[in-house]
Amino acid sequence: MFYSGRVLITDEAIEVYKEVNLFSAWNVKASWDNEGQTLQVDCEPSDLSFNWPWKEIESLINLGIDNIPSIAIEIRDRDAIA
């Protein structure tokens, strides 16, 4: 599969976005790391993988960003990891 554009991160009812280049990525997986403080997005090739600190995600939530067409990566139970 070939992706490009934004990645949509869904944490229960929260939707936030990050611009990433996943044009030639595959095996895209996302999980919470660092006791729920960092979202780790892994893919192949690995140089497209990235970490996304929760503080940055939270700041986007506070801006109220929504309605952006994107690729969905569903993340649930962030607090259950801590």
Q: For 7, which DSSP code? A: E
Q: ∠ CA(44), CA(16), CA(30), 5° rounding?
A: 30
Alpha carbon dihedral 63, 68, 72, 78, in 10-degree steps, equals 10
Q: Which two tokens stand for residue 27?
A: 């095996």
Note down pLDDT in tens along the chain; length 82 residues: 333 344 555 554 444 545 555 555 677 777 778 877 888 888 777 887 888 887 877 776 666 555 433 444 555 555 554 4
